[in-house]
Every structure is written in structure tokens, then in C-alpha cells.
């Protein structure tokens, strides 16, 4: 069954004591879990998720 997820949103990368420059990482909620946007895109490409009305949903269809 497909599970609705939240709209895409951005968050700042939180690095602690790192010499790497801070960069913005976009996150999306996939099945109620916050994941990097690239993970959501990979799920879309592999047909494990659908974009429905601006929401990212994933799961399996019954049958």
C-alpha cells in the first residue's frame, strides 16, 4: 500500500568540527522518514515511488 510523504523541503547540513564548507542539502520525507532528496529521486527512477499532487509516495500496489 502506498504511504503519503511530506512535501520536499531543504535543510542545512549540520557538520561538527569539520573543515568542509557548509552546504545546503535538500531533504524529502519518504514513507514518513526524512531522507536526502537524491534518495527520493532514486526511488522515483526505480519505480519504487510516485509523485502524486506534489507528494512523494512509495510502497507496493495490492495484488
What pLDDT, in 10s, does the model give residues 25-44? 677 777 777 777 888 888 88
Q: Is the pLDDT of residue 46 over 80?
A: yes
> In this structure, what C-alpha cell is assigned to residue 15?
557538520
φ, ψ for residue 37 (rounded to 5)? Answer: -55, -35
C-alpha to C-alpha distance for 55 and 58, rounded to whole angstroms: 10
Q: What is the dihedral of CA 23, 34, 60, 50, to 10 degrees?
A: -50
Name the pLDDT band for 8 (thresholds 50, 70, 90): low
Give the percent of the chain with pLDDT over 90: 0
> In this structure, what C-alpha cell is assigned to residue 33?
522518514
Pair type for strands 9-12 and 24-30: antiparallel
Give the percent of the chain with pLDDT over 70: 51
Higher pLDDT, 52 or 5: 52
Amino acid at each position: 500500500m502506498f504511504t503519503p510523504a511530506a512535501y520536499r523541503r531543504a535543510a542545512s547540513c549540520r557538520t561538527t568540527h569539520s573543515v568542509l564548507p557548509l552546504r545546503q542539502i535538500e531533504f524529502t520525507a519518504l514513507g514518513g522518514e526524512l531522507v536526502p532528496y537524491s534518495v527520493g529521486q532514486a526511488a522515483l527512477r526505480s519505480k519504487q515511488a510516485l509523485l502524486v499532487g506534489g507528494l512523494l509516495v512509495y510502497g507496493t500496489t495490492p495484488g
